[in-house]
Amino acid sequence: MPAIQTTIKCPTCGTPQPALIEQVIDVGRDPGSKTRLLQGRLNFFQCPGCGFQGMLASPLVYHDPLKELLLTFVPPELRLSPIEQEKILGGLTQQVVNALPPEQRKGYLLRPQAVLTAQGLMERVLEADGITKQMLEEQRAKSKLVRDLVDAEEDARRALIKEQDARIDSDVLALLGAIARSAAGKEDKAFAEKILKARDDVFQHSTAGKRMQTQREEMETAARDLEVLGKEFSLEALVKLVAAAPSLDRVTALAALAWQVMDYAFFQRFTETLEKTAGGERERLTAIRDRAVEEVQRVQQAMQSEMNLTAGVLQSILQAPDLDAAIEEHLPECN
């Protein structure tokens, strides 16, 4: 739906400024509007005079036809009476209905769901995508932990890492890594160094960090071994390399890198080698084979999921009425 061109007074300096306000978020017609909402860019205003920036308060109707979801929201700071709210939301909802072909006008359009806060609106949108409130709360808790780790002095950070070790997982490490990469390109070198120091401390002193370091080292070693093997590659040589792996982490790394050649013939040859052994060696090779099978299956499933996602994204883009907006919405999924 088209945005409304209006003029507002900056709440800080009072200077009249032009502004664009969107009141109908119709994902079916404008897929990019959902992204703008979730990223906090919907009805965003920045005063060129004093620099004030923030979200403009406005009644909203959110519509996702695929999920049969119709939400309404009136910011409480507008202090609209129930009659005023009903009149405004009724008009916005009618815009949604009028934009649909008659055969797509279903019963859910008669039962819009009201949300009381902007945060509640975004949570309902995410919930429809399968992201529960509990998942959001867990993510907020992890984000807070990352902020605490970054803000703490070295001794306090070491103590915090020890205290929160069980909560420091791959998500926390990934978030720290992303912040560190972002900070590296900033002009504030002191802040960048602070972030990098926090990241290094967490990787060196947390259980998850040490584990990731080990996995990275195993991956590098496996890559070198496979590079050497590649010069005179044979199925027998690959079986010997995997069978000689000093740890299951090395097996995981080898399988992750060489999964395309770890096919039925490879596992048949490996099983023949295994069956010639006994006792502890047989148990060790059985564990190696099981881990290799598990990792190859994991990579294959991940590749299939990525292919399905790509196909689904492409279909969504091609079927969207606004091609540019659809590309903008789905661009992060293609990276």
What pTM value is reported for the model?
0.54
Both tokens of 321, joined, read 């009425």
Q: Is 217 helix (H, G, I), strand (E, B) or coil?
A: helix
Q: Where are the beta strands (DSSP E) in the chain?
A: 4-9, 16-21, 24-26, 44-46, 53-55, 60-64, 69-73, 113-115
Residue written as token pair 């507008």: 78
Tally Cβ neighbours within 10 Å of residue 315: 10
Q: What are phi and psi of 276, to 5 degrees?
A: -85, -5
pLDDT at 19: 86
| C-alpha to C-alpha distance for 51 and 325, rounded to whole angstroms | 28
* pLDDT-derived band at 193, boundaries 50, 70, 90: confident
Ordered by start, the domain boundaries in the chain are 4-131, 135-205, 230-310
Between 288 and 45, whose confidence is greater? 288
Q: Is 16 helix (H, G, I), strand (E, B) or coil?
A: strand
Tell me the pLDDT tens digit for each residue of 258-284: 998 999 999 999 999 999 999 999 999
Between 12 and 121, whose confidence is greater? 121
> 34: closest CA among 320, 310, 315?
320
Between 307 and 297, whose confidence is greater? 297
Q: Is 49 helix (H, G, I), strand (E, B) or coil?
A: coil
Q: Are 107 and 66 in contact (CB under 8 A)?
A: no
| C-alpha to C-alpha distance for 242 and 334, rounded to whole angstroms | 34
How large is the C-alpha radius of gyration of the chain? 27
pLDDT of 100 strictly over 70: yes
Residue written as token pair 């919907």: 42
| C-alpha to C-alpha distance for 156 and 148, rounded to whole angstroms | 10
Q: Are 160 and 152 in contact (CB under 8 A)?
A: yes
Distance of CA 262 to the CA centre of its chain: 30
| C-alpha to C-alpha distance for 258 and 202, rounded to whole angstroms | 31
Q: Which of 88-97, 177-186, 192-201, 300-309 is the most confident on average?
A: 88-97
Partners of 4 in the beta sheet?
21
pLDDT of 334 strictly over 80: no
Both tokens of 164, joined, read 């929160």
Q: Which amino acid is at 82?
A: P
pLDDT at 310: 53
- In sequence order, what DSSP letters do the residues of 84-147 get, joined into one string? HHHHHHHHHHHHHHHTS-GGG--GGGGSPEEESSHHHHHHHHHHHTT--HHHHHHHHHHHHHHH
pLDDT of 57 strictly over 80: yes
Q: What are phi and psi of 220, to 5 degrees?
A: -65, -45
